[in-house]
A and B are shown apart, each in its own frame.
Chain A
Amino acid sequence: MNAPSPTLSARLAELVRKPFFWGIVAILLLLVVNLLKDPTYLAIRVNPSNGNLAGNVLDILRASAPILMVATGMSLVIATAGIDLSVGSVMAVAGAVSMEYLQNAGAPSSLGAALVAIAMSIGLGALLGTFSGLLVAKVGLQPFITTLVMMLAGRGLAKVITSGQNTTATNEQFRWMANGYVLGFPVVFLLAVAIVLVVILVVRRSALGMMIVSIGINPRASRMAGIKPAGLLVTVYALSGALAAIAGMFAVSSVMTVDVSQTGYQLEMDAILAVVVGGGTLAGGRLSMGGAAVGALLIATLDKTVVFLGVPSSATPAFKATVILILFLLQADNVRNLLRSRRPRPASLTETVETKASVAA
Chain B
Amino acid sequence: MFRTKTWAAGVALTAGLALALAGCSGDDGGDDTDTGTDTGTDAGTDDGGDSGELISVGFVAVGPEGGWRAANEKNIQDTFTEEAGFDLSYAPATNLDQASQIAAFTSFVDEGVDVILLSATEGSGWEDSLTRAQEAEIPVILIDRGIEPDDPSLYVTRIAPDNFVVAQGVAEWALSALPEGGNYFTLEGPAGVGVVNERNRGWDDVMGDHPEFVKVGAQTANWSTEEAKSVFETVLRANNNDIQIVFAQNDEMGLGAALAVEEAGLTPGEDVKIATIDGTKPALEALAAGRLSFVAEYNPLFGQTALEVVNTVLEGGTVDSYIIVPSGTFDSPEAAEEALPSREY
* Contact of A257 with B225 in the complex, beta carbons under 8 Å: yes
The contact of A255 among B65, B67, B223, B229, by CB within 8 Å, is B229
* Contact of B192 with A255 in the complex, beta carbons under 8 Å: no
B324 within 8 A of A: no
Stretch at the interface among B49-57, B111-119, B256-264: B256-264
Stretch at the interface among A117-125, A219-227, A310-318, A323-331: A310-318
For residue B234, which residue of chain A has the nearest CB? A307
Complex-state Cα separation, A166 to B70, whole angstroms: 9
* Contact of B238 with A49 in the complex, beta carbons under 8 Å: no
Complex-state Cα separation, A254 to B66, whole angstroms: 18
* Contact of A254 with B188 in the complex, beta carbons under 8 Å: no
In the complex, chain A residues whose CB is within 8 Å of the CB of B263: 179
Number of A-B contacts (CB under 8 A): 95
B339 within 8 A of A: no
Q: Would A310 and B265 be within 8 Å (CB), given that A166-B67, A257-B225, A261-B63 are in contact? A: no
Mark contacts of A240-256 with chain B using CB atoms, 8 A cut-off: 1 yes-contact digit, 0 otherwise: 00000000000110110
Complex-state Cα separation, A307 to B220, whole angstroms: 9
In the complex, chain B residues whose CB is within 8 Å of the CB of A56: 234, 237
A206 within 8 A of B: no
Complex-state Cα separation, A185 to B219, whole angstroms: 27
Mark contacts of B207-232 with chain A using CB atoms, 8 A cut-off: 1 yes-contact digit, 0 otherwise: 00000000001111011111101110
* Contact of B95 with A310 in the complex, beta carbons under 8 Å: no
Complex-state Cα separation, A211 to B192, whole angstroms: 47
Q: Would A164 and B64 be within 8 Å (CB), given that A308-B237, A310-B219 are in contact? A: yes
Complex-state Cα separation, A252 to B227, whole angstroms: 11
B191 within 8 A of A: yes
The contact of A59 among B70, B227, B234, by CB within 8 Å, is B234
B96 within 8 A of A: yes
> Whole-angstrom distance from the CB of A223 to the nearest CB of chain B?
38
A168 within 8 A of B: yes
> Whole-angstrom distance from the CB of A26 to the nearest CB of chain B?
19
* Contact of B65 with A261 in the complex, beta carbons under 8 Å: yes
> Whole-angstrom distance from the CB of B124 to the nearest CB of chain A?
12
Question: Beyond the given A255-B259, A261-B95, could you list 9 further A-B residue pairs with CB under 8 A, ordered by the A residue number?
Answer: A37-B238, A166-B64, A255-B256, A257-B252, A259-B225, A259-B252, A261-B96, A308-B234, A313-B220
* Contact of A260 with B64 in the complex, beta carbons under 8 Å: yes
In the complex, chain A residues whose CB is within 8 Å of the CB of B234: 56, 59, 304, 307-308
The contact of A166 among B94, B188, B252, by CB within 8 Å, is B252
Name the interface residues of A149-193: CB closer than 8 Å to any CB of B.
152, 155, 159, 164-166, 168, 179
A21 within 8 A of B: no
* Contact of A313 with B219 in the complex, beta carbons under 8 Å: yes
Complex-state Cα separation, A168 to B259, whole angstroms: 14
Mark contacts of B229-268 with chain A using CB atoms, 8 A cut-off: 1 yes-contact digit, 0 otherwise: 1110111011000000000000010011001000111000
Q: Footprint of A on B, CB under 8 Å?
A: 63-67, 70, 94-96, 188, 190-192, 217-220, 222-227, 229-231, 233-235, 237-238, 252, 255-256, 259, 263-265, 282
A203 within 8 A of B: no
Show 26 A/B contacts (Cβ-Cβ < 8 Å), sorted by A: A38-B238, A47-B264, A48-B265, A49-B265, A54-B264, A55-B237, A152-B94, A155-B95, A165-B64, A165-B67, A168-B282, A254-B229, A255-B226, A257-B226, A259-B66, A259-B225, A260-B64, A265-B95, A303-B230, A304-B234, A307-B219, A308-B237, A308-B238, A310-B219, A310-B238, A316-B220
The contact of B70 among A48, A54, A155, A164, by CB within 8 Å, is A164
Complex-state Cα separation, A313 to B249, whole angstroms: 14
* Contact of B265 with A50 in the complex, beta carbons under 8 Å: yes
For residue B187, which residue of chain A has the nearest CB? A313
A63 within 8 A of B: yes
Complex-state Cα separation, A189 to B67, whole angstroms: 31
The 7 tightest CB contacts between A and B, nearest first, are: A49-B265, A313-B220, A314-B191, A262-B224, A313-B191, A310-B217, A307-B234
For residue B232, which residue of chain A has the nearest CB? A307
In the complex, chain A residues whose CB is within 8 Å of the CB of B67: 165-166
In the complex, chain A residues whose CB is within 8 Å of the CB of B227: 262
Tell me which of A63, A152, A252, A262 has the highest count of chain B C-beta atoms within 10 A of its own C-beta: A262
* Contact of B233 with A59 in the complex, beta carbons under 8 Å: yes
Name the interface residues of A262-282: CB closer than 8 Å to any CB of B.
262-263, 265
In the complex, chain B residues whose CB is within 8 Å of the CB of A310: 217, 219, 238
Complex-state Cα separation, A203 to B66, whole angstroms: 41
Q: Would A259 and B96 be within 8 Å (CB), given that A49-B265, A308-B237 are in contact? A: no
In the complex, chain B residues whose CB is within 8 Å of the CB of A316: 191, 220
Q: Would A251 and B282 be within 8 Å (CB), given that A50-B265, A307-B231 are in contact? A: no
In the complex, chain A residues whose CB is within 8 Å of the CB of B264: 47, 54
In the complex, chain B residues whose CB is within 8 Å of the CB of A252: 226
Complex-state Cα separation, A178 to B255, whole angstroms: 17
For residue B190, which residue of chain A has the nearest CB? A313
For residue A264, which residue of chain B has the nearest CB? B226
Name the interface residues of A227-244: CB closer than 8 Å to any CB of B.
none
For residue A60, which residue of chain B has the nearest CB? B234
* Contact of A314 with B265 in the complex, beta carbons under 8 Å: no
In the complex, chain B residues whose CB is within 8 Å of the CB of A265: 95, 222
* Contact of A59 with B237 in the complex, beta carbons under 8 Å: yes
In the complex, chain B residues whose CB is within 8 Å of the CB of A59: 230, 233-234, 237
The contact of A254 among B220, B226, B252, B265, by CB within 8 Å, is B226
Complex-state Cα separation, A310 to B236, whole angstroms: 12
In the complex, chain A residues whose CB is within 8 Å of the CB of B222: 262, 265
Q: Would A312 and B252 be within 8 Å (CB), given that A56-B237, A164-B70, A165-B67 are in contact? A: no
In the complex, chain A residues whose CB is within 8 Å of the CB of B256: 255
> Whole-angstrom distance from the CB of B44 to the nearest CB of chain A?
30
Complex-state Cα separation, A304 to B67, whole angstroms: 27
In the complex, chain B residues whose CB is within 8 Å of the CB of A179: 263
For residue A88, which residue of chain B has the nearest CB? B95
Complex-state Cα separation, A59 to B231, whole angstroms: 10
